[in-house]
Amino acid sequence: MDWNTFFIKELEQLKAYQPGLRVEQVKQQAAVDEVYKLSSNESPYPPFASAIAAMQGELEGLNQYPDGASTELREALAARYGVDFNQVTVASGSNSLLMDLATSCLHPGNNVVYCWPSFVVYRMSAQLTGAEYRELPLRADGVFDLDAILAAIDADTKIVYLCSPNNPTGGAITKPEFAAFLDKLPEQVLLVIDQAYQEFATDPAALDAMDFFDDARPLVVLRTFSKMYAMAGARVGYGIAPAPVIEAVDKIRTPFNVNSVAQAGALAALGDGEELERRRADNARGRQQLLDCFARLGLKTYPSEANFVWVFLDDAQAVFDKLLTHGIIVRNFAADGGLRIGVGDAAGVAATVQTFEEMFA
């Protein structure tokens, strides 16, 4: 067998997604008892208690397939956002929705436009389909540059990806900026707004893309239960989109794509607004402590509406290595001149602050 020619040629430029270091690896290497995994923008807390109870209640039913249409969860999401049931899709993580959206409409000759650095799956989705990807610099504040995106769109542009708050910088697009952008966006372009970190935003000016959702616009809003809802291990994400987009994605997705435990957990978590508010406040407090610490030490950061903070460093690699010896795992963006540091729980934030103070005070 000649494996070099066996696979579709698009795979040649694709690289498998690289997850961060595992806790066990770091425990062994750094010989520390306590490890703070602040590298994948996960929640430092367990899932909501209501979600854990609901998930435990599903275990004995695992002999059966889940509801393949995720009916109850989609109904709850439709009610939450005031949209129709057929305008909601759920998937095993919003990652897979991004890939399914791309495969439903992209082919060689099309292009997609977004800013960089941002979430690597936008690039992967284009690479898989053979579409061209146009990566434009972010604004100086780490937010998507909407004017640059408008200028890069041409007749072959099929998708524009926006990430707000943006991973890895943290900045959010504002409502007025977005409204002006929507007015100028050509009609043939599908606008995919990835709001995986939306629930952490506290600035009243930050965009909530659902404010702009209506049936007339080719707008897709993606969100996830992986971050604020602390269910990254269960894999549930969702998309709100015009019904034809949902129908297209439905044809592509794996049958029974969201398992029954995840469906039950997500449904319960969605109904627990009080816990969400508590966690939003905890995150905002920890985020501010990190930002204050970096400001005290004279280190530049981007503004953040997310559950992580980007800090610029002359030698990001050395700081990354030093943090690891303290059991603190962050995401290394040394090539872009910085580190992305997740907001941990109180102990994780304190450990991060202490280590930076030792290094820079």
Ligand X SMILES: Cc1ncc(COP(=O)(O)O)c(C=O)c1O
Contacts to ligand X by CB under 6 A:
41, 93-95, 119, 163, 167, 194, 196, 224, 226, 232, 237
Instruction: Name the residue nearer to ligand X (CB basis): 232 or 243.
Output: 232
Instruction: Name the residue nearer to ligand X (CB basis): 44 or 355.
Output: 44
Tell me the closest approach of the beta carbon of residue 293 to ligand X, in angstroms: 23
Residue of closest CB approach to ligand X: 93
Tell me the closest approach of the beta carbon of residue 167 to ligand X, in angstroms: 4
Instruction: Name the residue nearer to ligand X (CB basis): 221 or 353.
Output: 221
Residue 281: exposed, middle, or buried by beta-carbon count in 10 A (0-12, 13-18, 19+)? exposed
Tell me the closest approach of the beta carbon of residue 163 to ligand X, in angstroms: 5
Tell me the closest approach of the beta carbon of residue 229 to ligand X, in angstroms: 10
Instruction: Name the residue nearer to ligand X (CB basis): 238 or 356.
Output: 238
Tell me the closest approach of the beta carbon of residue 264 to ligand X, in angstroms: 17
What are the phi and psi torsion angles at 304 (to 5°)? Answer: -135, 135
Instruction: Name the residue nearer to ligand X (CB basis): 90 or 323.
Output: 90
Tell me the closest approach of the beta carbon of residue 165 to ligand X, in angstroms: 8
Tell me the closest approach of the beta carbon of residue 361 to ligand X, in angstroms: 32
Report whether 296 contacts 274 (CB < 8 A): no
How far separated are the first and last CA of the chain, in Å rounded? 60
Instruction: Name the residue nearer to ligand X (CB basis): 234 or 319.
Output: 234
What distance in Å separates the CA atoms of residue 360 and residue 294, rounded to the nearest whole number?
Answer: 9
Instruction: Name the residue nearer to ligand X (CB basis): 32 or 250.
Output: 250
